[in-house]
Every structure is written in C-alpha cells, then in structure tokens.
Amino acid sequence: MSSSGISRSGPALTEDEAEDLLRCICFKTGPPRTVGAEVEWLVHELRDPRLPVPADRLASAVDTVRSLPLASALTFEPGGQLELSSPPALSLMSCVDTLAADLRAVREALAPLGLSLSGYGVDPWNAPRDRLLHEPRYDAMETVLDRSGPAGRAMMCDSASVQICLDAGHEEPGPLGYHRRWQLAHLLGAVLVAAFANSPVHGGRLTGWRSTRQALWTDLDPARALAPAPDGEPRAAWAAHVLDTPVMCVRGEETPWAVPEGLTFREWLRTGHPRPAREDDLHYHLTTLFPPVRPRGHLELRMIDAQSGPDGWIVPVAVTTALFEDPEAAETVYRAVKPLGERAGFQAPPRNPLWLAAARDGLTDPDLHAAALVAFPAALEALPRIGASPAVRQAVAAFHERHVVPGRCPADELADEFQEVAS
C-alpha cells in the first residue's frame, strides 16, 4: 500500500469476479449474533447551542477527543459532526454500555472546552457551514453531490443520525432469514423514520418536514441514495445495483481524484478506462453508496434522525434490535408492515410515497401510526427476552407513551418549542 492507502498495483477485476464478490461480501448469512450502532452528534456551544462553533475551536476539540482511550471508533464528518461507532457486540446491552461509556468520556472532555453534543437530524439554528474536512474523498463527494443541488452539502456538513447494524440473517427462510430481514428493513424503515423524526427546523426556520434530514436524502443523486426495489432476490438485485451505479471517483496517487460523470462501475470494468478497476476499487465504491438500508456483510439501517438528550439514541437502537433479533417480534412486526409495501408501490426508498409520507408527516400518517402501535409493544415484549436492562425497557416504554400512543414524534415537540420562542 502507498501512503495514501491506495494499492499501486493489483490484477484487473472482471465483471464476473465483481458480481461473485458482491454476492459473497454483502450478505454474510448465519444466525444473528451481533449488533452495532453508530451515533452522530452536532457539536455546539455549551452556553448557547444557537451560536456556531468557530472552525479553530472545532479543530482543537477534535485533537482533544482523539486522545481519549475509547472502545468505539471515533470519526468526524465533513461539517465537524462527531461520530462514535461501536465495535460489533454480542448483545444489545454490550453495545449500549460500550457506547454510553464512550459518550460520557467525550462529553467530559468537551465540557471544559465550552462545547457540547446535540442530537438533531439537522442543525436547527445554523445554516450549513462550509466543509471542514478537505480530503480527496470529500472533495470528490461534494463535486458529485453538487450535480443534484444544495442538499448534498447540507447532508455532508449539517446532518446527524443514529445507525443500527445487524447481522444479515439466516440463509434459510423464516422470520430471521436474510430475504425476510431485507424486506422488513425497507418497510419497517419508514416506520422508524416517522417515529423518530427529529428535524423539523433547519437553519432557524420550519421546513414543513418532520425529518428534514430524510428530505435531504430524497434530493440527492438518486442512483447513489436509492436501493434496488426490496421485493427481488437481495443478492442479485444489490450486485446489479452496485455495478450499475456511477462511480463517485477514480482514486489516484495525485489529487484531486478524477470525478467522471456517468461512468458506472460495470462500464469501468468493461472498458478499463481511465485505468483498470481492481478489487479494492470495488470495496471503495461500496462506501460511496448511501441507501437507507446498506448491506455490508451485515445490514446498516441508516434512516433514523439523531435523537435529543444524552441517552435518546438508546431507544431506536433497542427498538430496532428487538424487532429484528427476537423471532416472535420479527414475525409480529412483519405482518404489521407488510401491507405498507403496496402503498410504497414496491419502489425503492427513500423516494417512494411511503417514505416521503414518513419524512413529511411522521406519526400523523394513519398507516404509519398504526404500524408503530404494533411495533413498539412488540419490541417492549421482546426486550426482556434479548436481555435488555430495566432502564432500557423503561426508556422505550416512556417514548412509547409520550410519542407513539398520541402519534407525535420528537419533531412535533421541537416544532412547538420553536414556534413558542419565535412568537
């Protein structure tokens, strides 16, 4: 490897080899055992989160936090958002405990610097800031996303999420089978968008969306932000989708990297231009696709807004894990969300009618509210069976009573607070 992490040489990859690799690496089946979570946070002024944090103070905070001995992987997003990614855990509680301990350490390190972590899907107060990370990857990403309008820069620099990572599932059919889990992720995903929507205000104004963050994703390059329709065979559909999506960039030793327009990975393999594609290029290409459900051996569920409060992130992680990992809960919720597939038109999210309604209307949508009223009690019944602590179960129960039962997602409370302050 060179100092840039790019392989200087290697055999050219053929189209057949690429398809075989994608089928093997993107859906690794077996009994579900592990869970992981990635939590993103906006970094704000501790004394007044409405004030933008200067770039030099963010840079100093980055240096401070990077020195901490954390179990989770620490990264910073292009706009300075902080992300902690747990290692794969053998249980929900192991995942929660690891991330909670690391978050405490990060907050304790930031407080003396006058900074805090805020959980919102997008920054409610500040307009999208200029990109802080100037690396070849983000230079290329900005160029590509700019072709679809301003949403790409806002997504890169001004949004935050809770992502849940779960094993792909059994090879065999059934509630924990990988085909069923793939379908469940795309249907339940809309319910999770609606229930946990937490970004109705962006840059100091109400946007008309409960999840403005999800609305940003609908405005991105559709080839990069969509997934194949979930009713097909997952391995074949995903492999074809990956190969038929344009490459974001062709990495090289020199910068900036080449940013071709409209060159699919399949065409790159067939033509060998601007240079032969290698296996490491295929792996990198996978990291430049951003569907709401992304198979990476396991399944990444990427559709949930960051949650307010120091421990708000725990609720979506617990609910989602329970509904996927407990067979009884998985069967119950699948039956509840399966009718939503007809409304989605079996089209890929996030641009289908179901997902647009989830982002715009939250739990005021009757179908999504009805599904949530099944999903959350099923999760509550399953949480003791998967070893959730009393505190986690109480947090989920409180969210259910406060938000799900009356049909009000966190965005509704945030919008009310904003209007009270504005008036």
> Is there a contact between 155 and 29 (Cβ–Cβ < 8 Å)?
no
263 assigned to some structural domain: no
* Rounded distance between C-alpha atoms, residue 259 and residue 145, angstroms: 11
Place of tokens 């620099």: 157
Take residue 363 and report the two structure tokens written for it: 């739990």
> Is there a contact between 208 and 214 (Cβ–Cβ < 8 Å)?
no
60 assigned to some structural domain: no
194: domain CATH number is 3.30.590.20
Structural domain range at position 131: 29-34+126-158+168-245+289-417
User: What is each CA distance from 104 to 75, 101, 116, in whole angstroms?
Assistant: 16, 5, 11
Pick from 19, 11, 15, 10: which is nearest to 269 by CA? 15
Cβ–Cβ contacts within 10 Å for residue 24, how many?
Answer: 12
pLDDT at residue 63, as a whole number: 92
User: What is each CA distance from 382 to 5, 323, 325, 377, in whole angstroms?
Assistant: 43, 8, 9, 9
Pick from 396, 401, 341, 348: which is nearest to 367 by CA? 341
398 assigned to some structural domain: yes
Domain count, the chain: 1
Take residue 364 and report the two structure tokens written for it: 């005021």
Give per-10-residue mean pLDDT for the chain (423 aa): 50 96 91 94 93 89 95 95 97 98 98 96 88 92 92 93 96 90 95 98 95 94 82 90 96 92 97 96 96 95 97 98 97 96 83 95 98 98 98 98 98 93 71
Which tens digits make up the pLDDT trace of 70-116? 999 999 999 999 999 999 999 999 999 999 999 999 999 999 999 99
pLDDT at residue 4, as a whole number: 45
What count of residues does the chain have? 423
pTM above 0.85, yes or no: yes
